[in-house]
Amino acid sequence: MTRQKDNGTMTSREQLLATTFVELADTLVADFDVIDFLHTLATRSVELLDVDAAGIMLADQRGGLRVMASSAEEARLLELYELQNNEGPCLDCFRSGRPVARDDVPTMRASWPAFTQELQLLGFHSAQALPMRLRTETIGALNLFRTRPGRLSEVDLKIGQAMADVATVGLIQERAIAASELLATQLQTALHSRIQLEQAKGILAQRTGLPMDQAFQLMRDYARSRGRRLSDVAAQIIDGLLDDEMLRNGRRTRPDTSPRA
Amino acid sequence: MRDPRVVEILSVLALGPGEQVTLPDRLCAACLSALPVTGVGVALMTVDGPSGVVLAVTDARARQLEELQFALGEGPCVEASGSGRPVLEVDLLVAGPVRWPRFGAAVLDAGVHAVFAFPLRVGAIRVGVLDLYRDTPGQLTAVELAEALAFADAATEVILHLQDHDGHDGARSALTGPIDSRAEVHQATGMITIQLGVSLAEALLRLRAHAYATGRTVSAIAADVVSRRLHFDDSESGTTNRQDRR
């Protein structure tokens, strides 16, 4: 089996892994942003694991799942599809609190007929989910999508689960620290950050003529190359403080940041 | 994707007693009876802070506190609207005067010991604040907090509904459900902002008005905008609200 992303040395993957764990553990900062944090988890999953897209769902204050972050538009669409049709690996994973995977497309189809069809329509042939769980509490799931069929390797699975675990501890810890602001209000705020992100995507897509997912990519690359929070960049776009030229130039300074290159 | 509790709250409001009691008044009354608080108020907000418009209150003290925050330019609702995050002050005796020097003292004089302010927003669009007051200190439980957040979502929809009627006399929108959480609606709002050169708030109203005028759903119109089948502009017919309006 050839791994597409193993062009670099093992050392660079290990370095990214180490950086990622620090990023995911770093929730105790004054300006912690749930959406930014989850985007980091989604994009790092794609960079570190043998997957092509990743998405995260979290439970809201009533236990209903919400799509919170995704590395690509397709992953977001698939998660929405799961919620609308009440079928798919992520839902099974959230309900059971255990990892969910299938060996191949036929067994996926047997478990989730409608979802598997939608998955293939979007160009993927494998989907699996890892729980975001601490002890008995499952707060959501990390969903991994691949264009090639089959399960992730054991090593990738362990790394993926470790990332999900660290992120979960971070989220729960953050909730405990911010005593007056429970997870419910955090999620409410995060949902509006998410809406704000969509509003900014629309503004940018209209201004540049780019498709929605490329407009998002532009925003995200700019945020990352400048070390800025995605929600701050979105707010600046909405306030008209960032023109297209600034965004494109910001991106060019770090051409290696695109996870879908 | 829609919180069933928000849908429930809105459907009960829509069934309320005729025109004598306004929707915001009904919302505040329903919120007061659903939660262990002493008073409820809804104030409209602008980007710059409180607009001075108190939409509804359950009692004279709630009105006094809303107006006080506007006069002083400080307080939980000012803070909630500015930050976009709920402000939950569980013991004003301890934290009030430190957090809000002038409002903190006044609110204690009025006998209020806890205040919970929820921003009413659609992403970057700030429409108002839902304020809950209580004359005893203490937190809301997780269940109560979830209930308060559901009322905040319902209040947001009520305000948007009222704005629909303000700006577009012909449109007869029904108060059917909470704001659509689908991404396309918000992406389309962003696109229309640029197409028409208007604010996000105005763009969302135009999008909704066009849906009502054409008898289609907001998300169907949004999907057309995002796929660039539909373009909002003020000069051409069919897709512009200006023509639908008059």
* The two structure tokens encoding residue B32: 């007061």
Closest CA to B35 of B112, B131, B111: B131
pLDDT for res A253: 46
SS (H, E, C) chain B: CCCHHHHHHHHHHHCCCCCCCCHHHHHHHHHHHHCCCCEEEEEEEECCEEEEEEEEECCHHHHHHHHHHHHHCCCHHHHHHHHCCCEEECCHHHHHHHHCHHHHHHHHHCCCCEEEEEEEEECCEEEEEEEEEECCCCCCCHHHHHHHHHHHHHHHHHHHHHHHHHHCCCCCCCCCCCCCCCHHHHHHHHHHHHHHCCCHHHHHHHHHHHHHHHCCCHHHHHHHHHCCCCCCCCCCCCCCHHHHHC
B93 and B196 together in one domain: no
The residues near B142 (Cβ < 8 Å, ≥ 6 apart) are A61, A182, A184
Q: How far is CA B13 from CA B21, B26, B132, B181, in A?
A: 10, 6, 19, 21
Chain-chain contact of A181 with B88 (C-beta, under 8 angstroms): yes
In a domain, B218, yes or no: yes
B140 and B238 together in one domain: no
CB atoms within 10 A of CB B187: 28
Cα B206-B209-B213 angle, rounded to 5 deg: 135
B96 and B194 together in one domain: no
Amino acid identity, residue B89?
E
Chain A CB within 8 Å of residue B165 CB = no
Residue with tokens 């998410």: A194
Point out the domain boundary residue: B167, B191, B209: B167
Q: Shortest Cα distance from B12 to chain A (angstroms)?
A: 20
B151 and B192 together in one domain: no
B115 and B237 together in one domain: no
CA distance B22 to B26: 6
B107 and B188 together in one domain: no
pLDDT for res A200: 95
B195 and B155 together in one domain: no
B125 and B200 together in one domain: no
Q: Provide, as residue numbers in chain B, all residues whose Cβ is less than 8 Å from the Cβ of A191.
A: 181
CA distance A184 to A235: 23
Tens-place pLDDT, residues A72-89: 878 888 888 888 888 999
Q: Shortest Cα distance from B119 to chain A (angstroms)?
A: 9
Cα-Cα-Cα-Cα torsion B232, B233, B234, B237, nearest 10 degrees, comes to -80
* The two structure tokens encoding residue A43: 């994009």
B48 and B129 together in one domain: yes
In a domain, B174, yes or no: no
In a domain, B136, yes or no: yes
Cα A191-A197-A202 angle, rounded to 5 deg: 130
8 A C-beta contact, residue B178 and residue B3:
yes
Query: What CATH number does residue B134 fall under?
Result: 3.30.450.40
Point out the domain boundary residue: B143, B167, B191: B167
Number of domains in chain B: 2
In a domain, B132, yes or no: yes
Chain A CB within 8 Å of residue B85 CB = yes
CB atoms within 10 A of CB B80: 27
Return left, alpha or beta for B26; rule: phi > 0 is left, psi -120 to 50 is alpha, else beta.
alpha
* The two structure tokens encoding residue A218: 């532009």
Chain B CB within 8 Å of residue A83 CB = yes
B118 and B155 together in one domain: yes
CA distance A1 to A217: 30
Identity of the residue in B122, B181, B200 whose CB atom sits nearest the CB atom of A238 = B200
Domain holding B226, by residue range, is: 183-245
Point out the domain boundary residue: B134, B167, B200: B167
B75 and B37 together in one domain: yes
Domains of chain A: 10-179 (3.30.450.40), 193-255 (1.10.10)
- Residues with pLDDT less than 50, chain B: 1, 168-172, 237-238, 241-246
* The two structure tokens encoding residue A215: 């407009």
Q: Which residues of A158-168 are buried (b: 16+ CB within 10 A; e: fewer)?
A: ebbbebbbbbb
Q: Provide, as residue numbers in chain A, all residues whose Cβ is less than 8 Å from the Cβ of B88.
A: 180-181, 185
pLDDT for res A254: 44
Closest CA to A172 of A226, A131, A216, A134: A134
CA distance A80 to A92: 15
Chain-chain contact of A238 with B124 (C-beta, under 8 angstroms): yes
pLDDT for res B178: 54
In a domain, B236, yes or no: yes
pLDDT for res B215: 85
Q: Shortest Cα distance from A203 to chain B (angstroms)?
A: 4
In a domain, B22, yes or no: yes
Q: What is the largest CA-CA distance in chain A?
A: 50
A 100-119 residues with CB below 8 A of B? none
B13 and B84 together in one domain: yes
* The two structure tokens encoding residue B11: 């459907």
* The two structure tokens encoding residue A187: 């999620």
In a domain, B240, yes or no: yes
Q: Shortest Cα distance from B61 to chain A (angstroms)?
A: 25
Chain B CB within 8 Å of residue A66 CB = yes
Chain B CB within 8 Å of residue A121 CB = no
Tens-place pLDDT, residues B21-51: 788 999 999 999 999 999 999 998 876 666 7
Tens-place pLDDT, residues B61-82: 999 888 888 888 889 988 888 8
In a domain, B44, yes or no: yes
- Residues with pLDDT less than 50, chain A: 1-4, 177-180, 253-261
